[in-house]
Structure 1
Amino acid sequence: MHPIKESTVSGPDHARQSNGLPANSRPASGLRRRGFLGLLAGASALPLLPAASAGARATSEPATTTAYVGSMSSTGGRGFEVAAFDAATGKLTATTAVEGVPDASFFATSADGRVLYTTNELEQGSVTALDITDPAAPAVLGSTPTGGAGPTHLAVHPAGHLLAANYTDGTVSVHPLDADGRIGDATDLVRHDAAEPHAHQVLVAPDDELVVAVDLGADAVFVYALEGGKLAQRQRLDLPTGTGPRHLAWHPDGNRAYLLAELASTITVLDWDGAAFTAGQVIGTRDEGAAGENFPAEIAVTGDGAHVYASNRGDDAIAVFAVREDGLERVGSTPTGGQWPRHFAFAPDGAALHVVNQHSGSITRLPRDPGSGLLSPAEESGAFASAVVLAFAP
């Protein structure tokens, strides 16, 4: 493991690639943050189900379906891989790697499910479009620079734009999409106002118009209107210094959201009035008495709105919460069976969580009780070096 450079922002996700440092080294202390590599962890919410929702068990499901795994090619991964998912066994088996898609760290899809977009989490960041009309044989349509460094998250806006959050320099870029799904040059690049901004997530609000960006370095959530390919700020919600907000997940009712803090190991319940957020309950993600470093990564809400899940990197567990009228109640925690759970995705039938354990190069399956929300002990699902994100194809 190479040494990690000091940064004013703590956390584990982002190595300074310009110095030749590994993209996913674990920090030696809570005040160390790698320069830019990291995920998602709120979730892309289109047909791929990376981590956005899971409803009741489907009445029928094909025996085998396609899944996509993104990994850090800069640290030994294969970039973008296609995998076969066996619904009966829960196993994922790699079938092929798609060339020309380095450091694929987060996914989103077009509204019609024909095009998949991925971040290329490089110092000179870019986003790549892949045609997945044939889910088992994705074809690269092309890549476009984001104009920022270390893109960690992206979202498709229904107005025909792709939005990317660039972690390293704290910017959000806007790209027009062609009719065939190809990505155009950026029409806007907004840098968050902070001493050391680190935009970690960008997503579309429930009204399908406003844009929300979560910035770990600014300790803030930004709300924008998208007007003519440009972002116009409508709200800045500041969190306590050192919170380190990473990912936000919407409740299906569209009136609430849950904000996961990487540095504070907390979830803040946010009320949403259609235009702005108000912060409410703050609840911890860790077991009582837990010690040592911990950096939560991903958060997701079930399709029925009854449960919230969050991954804890360090504790290497998934925390389970029940949704109550007045907020969240922590009901359990289950080890992931691997190291550094950066992302997780609901199985297509909602009956399990598949957890991407980055440092152990493994994906594990945690069976899920839809009534209680509780998870059963982890089972092996597949081996994928330096994997950071998983999505199931439509």
Structure 2
Amino acid sequence: MNLKKIIGFYVLMFISSTLFAQAERYHLLVGTYTSPGKSEGIYVYEFNTENGEIAYKSKVILESPSYFAVSPDRKFVYSVSESKESKINALSFDAKSGELKLINSRPSGSAGPTHISVDAQRKYVFAANYGGGSLTALAIEEDGSLGDDIQDIKHEGSSIVMKKPYVHSAVVSPDNKYVLAADLGTDKINIYRFKSQNRPLALVSAVQPFALLDPGAGPRHSAFHPNKKYFYSVTELNSKVYAFEYKNGRLKQIQSISMIPEGFTGPGHGADIQVSADGKFLYANTRSTVNEIAIFSINQSDGKLSLIDKQPSLGKSSRTFAIDPSGNWVISTSQGTNELILFKRNQETGKLTVTGQKISIDKPSLVKFVKMD
């Protein structure tokens, strides 16, 4: 074989391998509100990272699984049922077919579970009970089912806006030693030390029991930076992003930055927050009269944010959004217009562009990508 043919062969191999990598597929899981409405539970789609195509695969019937968490081994999914019964559900998950099956359910401890997370060792799930104003720690058995041991921690206090606690999310720290719970009703990020071996009382207040935000801020969802040194929280009531230095269960606020236009007096209702996998950009959205995804660059030396762009979310009442694992796409839920909306993402600039691609689904509340076997 001559030199030209050899070079051509390797070029062809490179192009083929590149195209193959670009066409990687993922499961896309979508949580919904089922009452009132037409949705029936968690829906599973197949997502093509090359062209952003989304194809329906299956569903599992559950009552208002508005939020769920996928176990690190991808064998289980744990969801809330944000309904009158206020349950936590354990489901088996087939990472090849995408099939979900209900294993068992347990009471969430308090009313209105709105967020759930699972620790890195799959020993516990943590549910934020918005209606009941509490944080629940529920033990997981070896087979992935939910056990009977439950710890329900009632929060106390109020704010200049809210009259009682409203726990909205619970995030596990990267070292799996702490749980940080955002309480919209008390303007606090409550910090708990987590020790799974101390079943059933796996959580205790940390040395720094909480970080206090501005009066009337209303923290909602939070995210860690990939370098594990910074922690960010989006607020629902004053529509800001708060940046913190994080170390060993301690938070030190370094910045707060608004997501809504200067002088704007209407509600913004900050909702969700995501940090890109490379740690260069942070995204946070509003879901009321503004309906935008704010895009911030992250200073790699101090973790501070700079607003670089705002992308209209196109739909209404977008509770959550997600960046796909390739980093090339963002999918936003639109509870108000009953659809998933796809944006193209520029990994160099962080900016988003409209693709026109949408998927109709009644009252979507959460989207998550899961690697496909």
The answer to whether the aligner puts 1:102 opposite 2:44 as a matched pair is: no
The answer to whether the aligner puts 1:71 opposite 2:39 as a matched pair is: no
**Corresponding residue for 1:308?**
282
Aligned equivalent of 1:260, options 225, 231, 234: 234
- Output the CA distance in 1 between the equivalents of 2:221 and 2:278: 20
**Corresponding residue for 1:358?**
335
Q: CA deviation at 1:187?
A: 2.5
**Corresponding residue for 2:74?**
113
- Output the CA distance in 2 between the equivalents of 1:157 and 1:58: 35
Q: Which has the larger radius of gyration?
A: 2
Q: Is the 8 A contact 2:223 2:232 kept in 1?
A: yes
TM-aligned CA distance change 1:112 to 1:63, over 3 Å: closer
Shifted more, 110-119 versus 90-99: the winner is 90-99
Structure 1: segments with no counterpart, 5+ residues:
1-56
Q: CA deviation at 1:312?
A: 0.9
- Output the CA distance in 1 between the equivalents of 2:149 and 2:142: 16
Matched ranges for 1:196-345 at <5 A: 196-227=164-195, 228-229=198-199, 230=201, 231-234=203-206, 235-288=209-262, 290=264, 292-314=266-288, 315-324=290-299, 325-326=301-302, 327-345=304-322
What's the secondary structure of 1:376's corresponding residue? strand
CA root-mean-square deviation: 1.9
TM-aligned CA distance change 1:90 to 1:148, over 3 Å: same
Indicate the percent of aligned positions where both proteins have the same amino acid.
28
What's the secondary structure of 1:60's corresponding residue? helix
Higher percent of residues as strand:
2
- Please, what TM-score do these two structures have when normalized by structure 2? 0.86
Aligned equivalent of 1:170, options 94, 113, 133: 133
What's the secondary structure of 1:193's corresponding residue? coil
Q: Is the 8 A contact 1:146 1:186 kept in 2?
A: no
Q: CA deviation at 1:130?
A: 1.4
- Output the CA distance in 2 between the equivalents of 1:137 and 1:145: 24
- Output the CA distance in 1 between the equivalents of 2:85 and 2:348: 45
- Output the CA distance in 1 between the equivalents of 2:71 and 2:253: 31
Structure 2: segments with no counterpart, 5+ residues:
1-17, 159-163
Tell me which amino acid in the other structure corresponds to 2:154: R
Shifted more, 297-306 versus 135-144: the winner is 135-144
- Output the CA distance in 1 between the equivalents of 2:56 and 2:176: 35
- Output the CA distance in 2 between the equivalents of 1:140 and 1:58: 37
What's the secondary structure of 1:66's corresponding residue? strand
Kindly provide the CA deviation profile for residues 298-345 of structure 1, in whole angstroms up to 9, marking residues without a partner as x: 001011110000011121111000001341000000112211111111
- Output the CA distance in 1 between the equivalents of 2:352 and 2:254: 27
Tell me which amino acid in the other structure corresponds to 1:169: G
The answer to whether the aligner puts 1:185 opposite 2:148 as a matched pair is: yes
The answer to whether the aligner puts 1:60 opposite 2:28 as a matched pair is: no
- Output the CA distance in 2 between the equivalents of 1:354 and 1:390: 7
Q: Is the 8 A contact 1:157 1:209 kept in 2?
A: no
- Output the CA distance in 1 between the equivalents of 2:293 and 2:191: 29
Number of aligned positions between the proteins:
337
Q: CA deviation at 1:93?
A: 3.5
